[in-house]
A and B are shown apart, each in its own frame.
Chain A
Amino acid sequence: MKRIASLIMLVVVLAATLAACGAATPAASPAASTGAGAADTTAASPSPSVAATESLTASPLTEASPSTAASPSAMATQAAAAEATPGADATTTVTEDLPNVSGLNLGTVRIAYQGPLSGPQAQFGTTGLNGARLAVEQLGEEMGFQNIEIAQFDDQATESVGAANANTIAADQSIVCVVGHINSGVALAALPTYRDANLVMVSPANTNPRVTEEFDDTAYRLVGRDDVQGVVAADFVQNELNAQNVYVLHDQTAYGEGLATVFRDEMQERGINVSGFAGTQETAVFDAVLTPIQAANPDVIFFGGIYDRGGPFIQQLRERGIEAKVIGGDGLDAPDLAQLGGEAVVGTNYVTVSGPASAYQQAAQFTQDYQAANNTPAAYPAFQGYDSTKACLVAIANAATEANGTPTREQVKAAMEDLETYQGVTGQVTFDDEGDRSPATYYVFEVRSGDPANWGQNEVVGSIEAQPPEE
């Protein structure tokens, strides 16, 4: 009897395990289709119009440089000087007329912020939130809002939690605009709810192409897209690192797998050997992926994923004596990468849509204020969090002026659509029809120190300004 009982228990546990694995597989499959979608986009427009900035100092970033369509492979990513102080002397001070709503009685207006505020990716989420808070504190008053606040929601970087929070947000009629998410996969899970509730979402960090392609009236973003980010990475790997043999690893999320797929396709198109393309949800023990990498002996490893896995991965990679260069996307752009990986992450490259503070002329004041308010240096995506919130504030104010009172969600949505351009701490912000930022600047960084406190010293080794790919 006991044997039967324990066998039954075993079967139950095994079934639960398999069910857990099964649950993980469908979660991964949208990511797979994302990859395909991203690849399609790239194929449809093999050369997203890319304007090569001659060098950071020569071309002020706030100036929308005339986009001379150049094939990405012909683009020159040029190493900038260590102390990149772009256009410090060529500051184009844009005097801005912010709409003012002090004469209107709006009652309480709330902006929802949703991102990972706890868990492994909390650093990204809280950094963005701090930027958003600063925007409300500084601009809310300046624009004459009497009672504006941020409603914060923790999506734990998990699709199901983000979608559940989205329902709460949709039900709260005082919320008229959403700032978020950090993770593309979570945004894609929450966006249908926002769309049905007529809410508009401005993302400080989502780079997956589907976010704006599938929800073009609902979603806007301050950052670039993975189908360009991946191309920029490919270009850097080909021209600057002169790689012959690359290995691609991703974390099976919409973001990581999408980015890795774009990168792999781009490498294959250029005739560079891709000796492996693997995905893993592993967070701690990377032995199983490291052995094939060691056998493949690549000169460059591309990591599509977030810093919480990137740090331990790079640490264990170096521990094994693998000396290949590592490059990743904006997911690696966090001081916690150094916190987790230590000295091993020095020399790692990452492509990001967020430049160094010195690249943003309007950011000097912001950097100071951020440091004073939070006692830590501003990092990605604090600037974007500020600018996303500013987009919301301006749209709400415009809609309120139009409506001569508290605006509805529909009116805010329409105002966001009509919002032509505004001055952000990340430069002049212009959204195209789909809600993509146009143009967006992509940077390639190199990590300089294993000390998280010195994250700001990471060096720009290349930059490029690119338009989002056309349909």
Chain B
Amino acid sequence: MAVKAQAQPMVSDRSSLGTLRQVLAPIGQILIFVIGGSLLLGTIVVMLALALQAGQANLLNGVVSVLPLVIIDGLVLGFLYATIALGYTLVYGVLEFINFAHGEIYMVGAFVGGGLGIWLASQGLLATMHPLIFVVIAVFVAMLASGLLAVGIERFAYRPLRGAPRLVPLISAIGVSLVLQDLVRLIAGPARFNLRYPTLNLGGRIPLFEMSTAAGTNLRVSIDNQSLIFIITSLLMLVALNYLINVTKLGKAIRAVAQDRPTASLMGINVNLIIALTFFVGGALGGGAGVLFGIKYSTVNPYIGFIAGLKAFTAAVLGGIGNITGAMVGGIVLGLLEAFVSTYLTLFTNGRLSGPDYASVASFLILIGILVFRPSGLLGEAATQKV
């Protein structure tokens, strides 16, 4: 498995239309999975509601009325997992190595962005700038910091172990992630353990539509600007990454290293440099995701990276690890699954089982089910053939 080009025509096909198609094709694929996944899961819960309706009054009405909210929740959660998963899949594609410290790189990005926000606010600069400008600056600063951190980790914790058996760098990665957690905890100190992002005035929620519930009240379905920024930015990241991998010379070099390291080296490619750059790109994506998370959920702490990293890794495997679009698709499917389970488990069991408690368990069970039938992931290819 390796980083895969999205379409067969290689870089030689330089027509701008072909490039555009190559770069934008994954968006279509993601859209298919978003709509398909929502429809499929929605149908399942409606069918379940119809089947169980005899036992509970108003069940169908309740199920349908929260459906749009659940889908929005799932998408936001899904894009979070997806952006982090991009970093896992990129590094795996090139080195066939799971960088378990990636979750912590994402956490560091969240702290850098939050620290920058607090510093700007203390200088009085934050009040004068447009919130969107802050978002852009914070994302870029965090991307730079996380990218450099990832390069540093690669240089000191992974490169010396490159010839060792596969499990050795894996242990090293777990060690790095523990060190990073407590290092950030040390630097932040007790007062900033729970770091709160400065409040940004990004405008109110964007109302989508209203619908009536079983209780007879109107439920306002709306999406907030932070979520929109989150989704749009992660789509932009995907497009930029696709462009980088499939169109640029650097991308060509990355793909060459992924295919065959010694041969790439013989072709005059500086393998160490390319691997470092791959880590930089992966780390930068994680850092960007961290800032977006902080802006959306307002509070970060040094331990947010662990669970998020685990889920993102799962998303990458679900989508077919090594495949960039697959990571996004896997993240979205996982996010939707979790949102559906955590809301509907409570509804269907009439409150006896608490959905959020079992969301991880249930969605992982479903994942195991999917992987039994498609071991290489949703978009992965069964053959180990290199591009």
B119 CB within 8 Å of chain A: no
Beta-carbon contact of A287 and B76 below 8 Å: yes
**A5 (CB) vs chain B CBs: closest residue:** B166
Chain B residues whose CB sits within 8 angstroms of the CB of A126 once the complex forms: 190
| Per-residue interface assignment for chain A, residues 306 to 321, with 1 indicating a CB less than 8 Å from any chain B CB and 0 otherwise | 0010011001100111
- Contact partner, B301, options A14, A284, A295, Cβ 8 Å: A284
| Per-residue interface assignment for chain A, residues 1 to 16, with 1 indicating a CB less than 8 Å from any chain B CB and 0 otherwise | 0110111011001100
Q: A276-B351, A292-B347 are in contact. List 6 more A-B contacts (CB 8 A).
A: A28-B357, A120-B193, A277-B354, A281-B357, A292-B346, A320-B224
Give A75 Cβ to nearest chain B Cβ, in Å.
29
- Which of A335-343, A378-386, A440-448 interfaces with chain B? A335-343
| Per-residue interface assignment for chain B, residues 343 to 387, with 1 indicating a CB less than 8 Å from any chain A CB and 0 otherwise | 100110001001111011100100110010001100000101000
28 pairs, CB–CB < 8 Å, chain A vs chain B: A3-B384, A7-B375, A17-B364, A18-B361, A118-B193, A119-B193, A123-B190, A279-B354, A283-B301, A283-B304, A284-B304, A287-B73, A287-B77, A287-B339, A288-B73, A288-B342, A291-B69, A292-B347, A295-B219, A297-B217, A315-B299, A319-B298, A320-B205, A321-B220, A321-B222, A342-B196, A342-B199, A342-B298
A282 CB within 8 Å of chain B: yes
- Expressed in whole angstroms, the Cα–Cα distance for A288 and B185 within the complex equals 27
- Expressed in whole angstroms, the Cα–Cα distance for A284 and B106 within the complex equals 15
**B294 (CB) vs chain A CBs: closest residue:** A284
Beta-carbon contact of A2 and B384 below 8 Å: yes
A197 CB within 8 Å of chain B: no
Beta-carbon contact of B298 and A316 below 8 Å: yes
- Contact partner, B62, options A117, A282, A295, A321, Cβ 8 Å: A295
Chain B residues whose CB sits within 8 angstroms of the CB of A403 once the complex forms: none
| Per-residue interface assignment for chain A, residues 295 to 331, with 1 indicating a CB less than 8 Å from any chain B CB and 0 otherwise | 1010000000000100110011001110000000000
Q: Which of A119, A123, A287 has the most CB of B within 10 A?
A: A287
Chain B residues whose CB sits within 8 angstroms of the CB of A119 once the complex forms: 185, 190, 193
Beta-carbon contact of B215 and A297 below 8 Å: yes
Chain A residues whose CB sits within 8 angstroms of the CB of B215 once the complex forms: 297
| Per-residue interface assignment for chain B, residues 324 to 356, with 1 indicating a CB less than 8 Å from any chain A CB and 0 otherwise | 000000000000001100110011000100111
B70 CB within 8 Å of chain A: yes
- Expressed in whole angstroms, the Cα–Cα distance for A2 and B321 within the complex equals 12
- Expressed in whole angstroms, the Cα–Cα distance for A295 and B220 within the complex equals 10
**B73 (CB) vs chain A CBs: closest residue:** A287
B66 CB within 8 Å of chain A: yes
Contact A311-B299, Cβ < 8 Å, known A118-B185, A288-B359:
yes
A164 CB within 8 Å of chain B: no
Interface footprint category on A:
35 or more
Beta-carbon contact of B297 and A316 below 8 Å: yes
Chain A residues whose CB sits within 8 angstroms of the CB of B339 once the complex forms: 287-288, 291
**Chain B binding site: helix, strand, loop or mixed by DSSP?**
helix
Beta-carbon contact of A294 and B66 below 8 Å: yes
Chain A residues whose CB sits within 8 angstroms of the CB of B24 once the complex forms: none
B213 CB within 8 Å of chain A: yes
Give B318 Cβ to nearest chain A Cβ, in Å.
10
For chain B, residues 265 to 307, give those with C-beta under 8 angstroms from any C-beta of chain A: 293, 297-301, 303-304
- Expressed in whole angstroms, the Cα–Cα distance for A14 and B297 within the complex equals 27
B313 CB within 8 Å of chain A: yes
A285 CB within 8 Å of chain B: yes
Chain A residues whose CB sits within 8 angstroms of the CB of B298 once the complex forms: 312, 315-316, 319, 340, 342
Beta-carbon contact of B346 and A278 below 8 Å: yes
Residues of B at the A interface (CB closer than 8 Å) are 1, 62, 65-66, 69-70, 73, 76-77, 96, 98, 166, 185, 190, 193-194, 196, 199, 205, 213, 215, 217, 219-220, 222, 224, 293, 297-301, 303-304, 310, 313-314, 317, 321, 338-339, 342-343, 346-347, 351, 354-357, 359-361, 364, 367-368, 371, 375-376, 382, 384
For chain A, residues 257 to 280, give those with C-beta under 8 angstroms from any C-beta of chain B: 276-280
A79 CB within 8 Å of chain B: no
Beta-carbon contact of A289 and B356 below 8 Å: yes
- Contact partner, A295, options B69, B293, B357, B376, Cβ 8 Å: B69
Beta-carbon contact of A14 and B368 below 8 Å: yes
Q: Which of A2, A288, A312 has the most CB of B within 10 A?
A: A288
> How many A-B contacts at CB < 8 Å in the complex?
142
- Expressed in whole angstroms, the Cα–Cα distance for A3 and B368 within the complex equals 16
- Expressed in whole angstroms, the Cα–Cα distance for A6 and B375 within the complex equals 10
Give A346 Cβ to nearest chain B Cβ, in Å.
13
Beta-carbon contact of A284 and B300 below 8 Å: yes
- Expressed in whole angstroms, the Cα–Cα distance for A126 and B314 within the complex equals 38
Give B120 Cβ to nearest chain A Cβ, in Å.
17
A122 CB within 8 Å of chain B: yes
A70 CB within 8 Å of chain B: no
- Contact partner, B364, options A14, A284, A319, Cβ 8 Å: A14
Beta-carbon contact of B213 and A295 below 8 Å: yes
A151 CB within 8 Å of chain B: no
Chain B residues whose CB sits within 8 angstroms of the CB of A14 once the complex forms: 314, 364, 367-368
A21 CB within 8 Å of chain B: yes
Chain A residues whose CB sits within 8 angstroms of the CB of B317 once the complex forms: 10
Q: Which of B194, B217, B313, B342 has the most CB of A within 10 A?
A: B194
Chain B residues whose CB sits within 8 angstroms of the CB of A279 once the complex forms: 354, 356-357
- Contact partner, B321, options A6, A17, A287, Cβ 8 Å: A6
Contact A2-B354, Cβ < 8 Å, known A295-B66, A311-B194, A315-B299:
no
- Expressed in whole angstroms, the Cα–Cα distance for A307 and B40 within the complex equals 39
- Expressed in whole angstroms, the Cα–Cα distance for A9 and B73 within the complex equals 30
A349 CB within 8 Å of chain B: no
**A343 (CB) vs chain B CBs: closest residue:** B199
Beta-carbon contact of A280 and B354 below 8 Å: yes
